[in-house]
Structure 1
Amino acid sequence: MVSHLFVNAKVFTGRDETDFASAFRITDGSFSWVGDHSEVRGEQAVDLGGRTVLPGLLDVHTHPAALAALTDAVDCLPPQVVSLAQLLDRLRTHRNLGGGADQWIIGRGYDEARYPEGRSPTAHDLDQVSLTQPVIVKRCDGHTAVCNTRALELAGITSATPDPVGARFERDEQGRPNGILTELEAVRAVERLLPALGGDDLADRLAGLDERFLSRGIVGVCDLRASTLPDPLATFRAARARGLRPRCTLYLEWDPGRPPDDLSDEDRLGPVRIGGLKLFMDGAYSNRTAWVNDPYPDSCEHGIHTVSDEDARAAVDWARRNQVQVAVHAMGDQALEHVVELFGEAEPWLAGRPSIRLEHATLVSAGLIERITSARMSFGIATHTIFLYAEHDSYRANLSAEQARVAYPIRSLYHGVRPLALASDCPATAWSDADNVFVSVKAAVARRAYNGADIGQAEAITVPQALSLYTGRARHVAPLGQVGVIAPGYDGSFVVLDRDVFTVAHEDIDQVRIDQTWIEGAQVYAR
């Protein structure tokens, strides 16, 4: 039996927003006692010197597979890149520039809402990077990309090419494709040409994310598009064998034409497991493809409804049969309402966690919260503050005053929906450090954007409340095992901070750093 006692700390347990302790014991990798420093008498202990301790942090909506696949992409995210000229300069730093005609130049994370040019890049712009090599750069939301003329030629996209279902090849005034690929099926039409990586390469890249997560205190993640990898479960498990230490729960994107094989118990269990399906009900707010009741400002457009009711029901039937969740991407209020209409009165099939997760949940009125919580179906929500914080310019342009009032209503959700989490959606957000938990906590507490703009201060929450949405409350949203709480019986996973996040000024919360990360009683990271 291996036992370690830790004393003299300010311990936020994650069990409740008011629950703190000052000492704890870990025995054989699990918390065995949590209490007050004064209860300890004459035992050898690790003195934490009064520092602040949190449970290991959980990011229940992120994209490690995408991060691994984009290892070769140049980072074009704000705040480093905030103009079209800077975007082109950044793409010119790609190591493939000047290579052969089959060498792709890849970028990620542009956000044209910040650009003084006031528009998206086009194929014409990217042609200034290369006319002979294909160039593609994904937008910060992950739902849109833009490519150059050479990439369009390779993909066979011409004026006569029809738009994919639920997506668009944007066009110029003459009807010619302008390189902007709106929504996932349009992006895939070009991305399918990218050189494929082998399973070993992808496993190595995933394993290489270990320090990224641990330096941010993240001990558990949900990959909400794991099936961007050819064999996600095998690849993630290989990455774990190579040193990826956070727990990983994977969600497979639903393809009605090729549903996944049924799962075994082994697929659903362990530190790397299949947790559910991912279903897209609509698009994104920043590119006006979220499905909304009221049209976008100065427009008659209501966004895009991206999946048929038949396909959505088939996904739920598969998940019910395989005893896993369905995570539904639904940003717009009409998308959210439609999910509740389709499944609200259906019988839930999972015990102890939501059968259906609502991802993003941008526009949520008090009436919709009531419908969600009173439904027969068990719903959970994974939402964000990083979007309003980082993409304020897009949201300001795309939300009406009434919509802005109910955008990401974290306070209302906190008090209305028990299975609730904040998450990063990294790298599908317009911020290079999106999975720094303390950026999201700052935005939740201060409700101000990166530029100081008010993003709904009536919906602000406290620091303990925000942290509970990355710990004890977050664990109710997803099957990640016995993590997220400092309590007897849970994994001995915790983080030590470099300062007290509960007392620093709100504007400095994003400066808090992780000094140590521990998993199952072993220190795995030190700053």
Structure 2
Amino acid sequence: MKTTIINANIFTSNKDMPYAKSMSFEHGKITEVSCNNLSGNNIIDAKGMFITPAFLDIHMHPLWIALNYDKFACLPPHIYSIHEIQNEIIKRRKNNPTKWILGWGYDEGKMKEKRICTKYDLDSACNDFPVIIERTCSHICICNTAALLALNINPTNHDGVLRESEKFEAFLKIPKCTNDEIIHNLKLFSNDCFSKGITTVSEMLGNQNDLDIYLEAEIPQRILFTYDYNAIKDMDNLPPITNPKIKIQGIKLLADGSVSGQTAWCSKPYLNTENNGLSTVSDTEIIDAMNIAKKYQLQLIVHAMGDNAINHILSLKTDDWLSKIPSLRIEHYAILYNDLLKSTKNKHVAIVSQPIFMYAEIESYLKNLGNEFKSFCYPYKSILDQNIPLAFSSDAPATSWTDPFNPFIAINSACKRQSYNGIDSGINQSISIEDAIHCYTSNAAKIVGLDNVGMIKEGMSADFIILNQNLFEKDIPIEDTLVLQTYMDGELKFTRNIQ
């Protein structure tokens, strides 16, 4: 049956017809969009409510998020100090005497002590059972002595802090949740996504076992699956995909680390240090990854935060192997001491960035880069002015926020360029609400090659959301926006109960 919505404030993300008042959909597709009220038998009167296309989060880590449902968040508003982390560890040791104690999201900039936690802090709370706290950037973790021993790391003269490859190798050894537990948590994650208006998600660092979990879980969102380079490099062939909602999107490489961990590879040293960060991948690996991407006709998706990392990746790209979407994506694109925009544009590269970082991690940017960071970090306006493809995403859970994949926090950050505590994060690079929504909808869909979502337009899938406030109204708190309803393929997937 055709359903028609009337009296709505619709932002379509379709640049040919950006605004509308009414829309109809049937059999999962949008059949008509109009600036006047349409007629029909099944009418929904929106009474002026604001409607946009549903969001795509094209860089996130749902399996990490699923695992975090069983961990404790080391972040405000739950945790404000190392002492409170210690209390939580003591409580969990008492209540779950047989499980490793795991925390996520630690950010020393938000702690009362203003320092990174060490094994000695964790040992004082629990010295007879493994405890590991993951830093917000996901590139660093802190282990107590028992955890170091369990990971076959000599704790003598070791502060318990593991970085980059050492951290990633350690996490492979942590006792895993069962597949049934992971699938259960993925379904919780799916519900959370619908509550935030997200109908397309992505797995950005997967292996074959991860893909099998998604195939078994059958969450309703569309899934863009990207293989970790280390997982795909020795595969003879990619297995066929039987679920039409899963698309193999790309191959992921890590070219450097994080700003907050001072491991993003930059041309200038971090504030008051001689440290420029580090490269985490060889030229041989980059070229091999490009060749694999060409073989399977996939995007090469490279984590590069520092300008040295960005420039190095650009220098190694010699051709385009995909005709309809960018062959190379640079994720984050955070620090531009040097003007890389021209070479980025000339290399036909897309950028997928995370505005929530400068909103939630302001302490790390000020500490590591100084107050001048706002002049060379996340130049969204300049990127769009150069007509470089730009999309937004969350990289959840890898940021210092308990609600890391909330699109409205990111949109607020990109438009207002202020951190959660009101610090200017580069007002000269602020963008419009319209452009920010494009970055989460039509721009994102175009970058990943999904031609049936991202706009409210005739023939597109009926993926749209109804919000509690009009994002174009002046001085509204964008970050507090709530999704009232989420539709995917014309089906109502979420309704918020508001008292």
After TM superposition, is the score higher than 0.5? yes
Unaligned runs of 5+ in 2: none
Residue 4 of structure 2: SS of its match in structure 1? strand
Residue 382 of structure 1: SS of its match in structure 2? strand
Tell me, yes or no, if the aligned pair for 1:17 and 1:464 is still in contact at 8 Å: no
Question: What is the distance in 2 between the residues matched to 1:14 and 1:270?
Answer: 25
**Counterpart in 2 of 1:167?**
none
Give the C-alpha shift of residue 421 in structure 1. Answer: 0.8
Unaligned runs of 5+ in 1: 160-174
**Counterpart in 2 of 1:45?**
43
Letter in 2 for 1:217: G
Letter in 2 for 1:278: K
Tell me, yes or no, if the aligned pair for 2:120 and 2:144 is still in contact at 8 Å: yes
Give the C-alpha shift of residue 256 in structure 1. Answer: 7.6
1:97-156 deviation line (CA, Å, top 9, x unaligned): 4654x5200100110012232210000000122111100010011111001011111122
Relative to structure 1, is the Cα distance of residues 98 and 3 closer, same or farther in structure 2, using a 3 angstrom cutoff?
Answer: closer
**Counterpart in 2 of 1:515?**
484
**Counterpart in 1 of 2:280?**
306
1:186 equivalenced with 2:185 (yes/no) = no
Tell me, yes or no, if the aligned pair for 1:256 and 1:311 is still in contact at 8 Å: no
Question: What is the distance in 2 between the residues matched to 1:42 and 1:401?
Answer: 56
Give the C-alpha shift of residue 17 in structure 1. Answer: 9.4
Tell me, yes or no, if the aligned pair for 2:349 and 2:388 is still in contact at 8 Å: no
Question: What is the distance in 2 between the residues matched to 1:129 and 1:261?
Answer: 48
1:106 equivalenced with 2:106 (yes/no) = no
Relative to structure 1, is the Cα distance of residues 515 and 454 closer, same or farther in structure 2, using a 3 angstrom cutoff?
Answer: same
1:248 equivalenced with 2:248 (yes/no) = no
Higher alpha-carbon deviation: 301-310 or 217-226? 217-226
1:361 equivalenced with 2:360 (yes/no) = no
Relative to structure 1, is the Cα distance of residues 342 and 402 closer, same or farther in structure 2, using a 3 angstrom cutoff?
Answer: farther
Tell me, yes or no, if the aligned pair for 1:366 and 1:412 is still in contact at 8 Å: no
Task: Figure out how many residues of one structure are paired with residues of the other and give that number.
Answer: 496
Question: What is the distance in 1 between the residues matched to 2:234 and 2:372?
Answer: 39
1:432 equivalenced with 2:406 (yes/no) = no
Residue 224 of structure 1: SS of its match in structure 2? strand
1:13 equivalenced with 2:12 (yes/no) = yes
Question: What is the distance in 2 between the residues matched to 1:347 and 1:331?
Answer: 22
1:171-211 deviation line (CA, Å, top 9, x unaligned): xxxx711111111x211343233222333332232122121
1:125-524 counterparts in 2 under 5 A?
A: 125-158=121-154, 176-183=157-164, 185-227=165-207, 231-240=209-218, 244-255=219-230, 259-263=234-238, 266-267=240-241, 270-343=244-317, 346-364=318-336, 367-375=339-347, 378-400=348-370, 403-480=373-450, 482-506=452-476, 508-524=477-493
Structure-1-length-normalised TM-score: 0.90
Residue 117 of structure 1: SS of its match in structure 2? coil
Question: What is the distance in 2 between the residues matched to 1:402 and 1:470?
Answer: 28
Residue 113 of structure 2: SS of its match in structure 1? coil
**Counterpart in 2 of 1:170?**
none
1:382-411 deviation line (CA, Å, top 9, x unaligned): 112111111101000111455541101111
Letter in 2 for 1:123: K
Letter in 1 for 2:343: R
Question: What is the distance in 1 between the residues matched to 2:107 and 2:461?
Answer: 39
% same residue: 30
Tell me, yes or no, if the aligned pair for 1:17 and 1:465 is still in contact at 8 Å: no
Higher alpha-carbon deviation: 139-148 or 479-488? 479-488
Question: What is the distance in 1 between the residues matched to 2:192 and 2:95?
Answer: 31
Tell me, yes or no, if the aligned pair for 1:78 and 1:111 is still in contact at 8 Å: no
Question: What is the distance in 2 between the residues matched to 1:181 and 1:63?
Answer: 20
Give the C-alpha shift of residue 219 in structure 1. Answer: 0.5
Question: What is the distance in 2 between the residues matched to 1:51 and 1:17?
Answer: 22
**Counterpart in 2 of 1:165?**
none
